[in-house]
Amino acid sequence: MTLTEKTAYLKGLMEGLNTDDKVIAAIADILSDMAAEIADLKDDVDELSEVVDVIDEDLGEVEKDLYEIDEDDDDCCCCDDEDDDDYDDFDEDEDEELFDDEELYEVTCPTCGDTICLNAAMIEDGSINCPNCNELLEFDLDDIEDDESEGSEE
């Protein structure tokens, strides 16, 4: 039984008892008004909840498009096979320039944990902003070159 139904029942009991108690009648009227207001608020909350759910779904789609998130694959978009649909967003010349026989390196952002793929030219620049959280990622090539030269001496 809803609040509105309960207050209607209370008013019916009062009429059936034929009491002329003005205090109880005023309380019953106030309860009736409160029940109506609560029912209106519940309807408004239900409507807002539906709108928020729709906005949340739309935002999820925008995030997928913006960050090129593939729900079936945990790797970043640029390390997949070239026949993947993720490459439809790239210009063909740009696509060949970025991925043509070039070795890619996966880098994990320490702040957000996002994995991004970089080519050698991007790493040689020394730094890049994470596309997910905009954290500046810096690369120290001296350590890599020292490790490579030590391995070649042996």
Residues 92-135 have pLDDT tens digits of 455 455 555 578 888 888 888 888 888 888 888 888 888 888 88
Assigned token pair, 5: 């139904």
User: What are 22's two structure tokens?
Assistant: 């003005």
Same domain, 49 and 12: yes
Which is more confident, 153 or 21?
A: 21
> Is 109 part of any domain?
yes
Same domain as 90, residue 147: yes
**How many domains are there within the chain?**
2
Verify that 134 and 94 share a domain, yes or no: yes
Amino acid present at 109: C
Please give the average per-residue pLDDT across 73-98, as a whole number.
Answer: 49
Q: In terms of domains, do 84 and 143 share one?
A: yes
What is the bridge-based pairing of β-strands 136-138 and 127-129? antiparallel
Is residue 72 domain-resident? no
| Residue ending a domain, choose from 40, 67, 94 | 67
Q: Which of 38, 67, 96 is the last residue of a domain?
A: 67
Same domain, residue pair 52 and 82: no
- Is 129 inside any structural domain? yes
Residue 77 · residue 68 · CB < 8 Å? yes
Confidence band (pLDDT; 50, 70, 90) for 51?
Answer: very high
Task: Give the Cα separation of 9 and 89 in Å (integer).
Answer: 64
Nearest-10 Cα torsion for 122, 127, 104, 132: -110
Domain that holds residue 29: 3-67
* Same domain, yes or no: 58 and 81: no
The answer to whether residue 98 is domain-embedded is: yes
| Same domain as 40, residue 20 | yes
What does pTM read for this prediction?
Answer: 0.37
**97 domain residue, yes or no:** yes
Query: Are residues 147 and 96 located together in one domain of the fold?
Result: yes
The tokens for 51 are 């709108």
**For residue 40, is pLDDT > 80?**
yes
